[in-house]
Structure 1
Amino acid sequence: ITITLVTFINEAVRKIPVQYAKKVVGRKLYGGQNSHIPMKVNQSGVMPIIFASSLLAFPQTIALFMGENA
């Protein structure tokens, strides 16, 4: 479930609507198309996930080394 959620958030894109200007020549209307700009929801990628997992593993690693030396 976690991997699916992380993948979903990492690949999510927000579509920002854009409307181009219209040009009138005589009685004809040119342009005025609607489009969108794709913006990633999570701009930093998977870096926060890697950092969080290393922070969670840090106390266990310290406890492992302290147990061997004591």
Structure 2
Amino acid sequence: MTVQPKFTQAQPVILDEAPVVLRFAGLFPQGLGKFKMHDKRGGGDLDHVDQELSRLNQVLVGEPGWQQQIRGEIA
């Protein structure tokens, strides 16, 4: 027995605008390179990324070179 509802007639959802997704997780110095690679779309499987739309991304926090600045402060 489960308390979770059953979806017997689920319908696909089509959104006019995608929601903003935030993820709060610890970031350690050894993860900065991977974070930068993801931020710049610089590696891995990028088939799911529309490269033309990536230019519309906005940097909401930080400045160019922030990863190097953090590494310098930690060292």
Per the TM superposition, whether the score is higher than 0.5 is no
In terms of fraction of residues, the more strand-rich structure is: 1
Larger-Rg structure = 1
Q: TM-score, normalised by structure 1?
A: 0.31
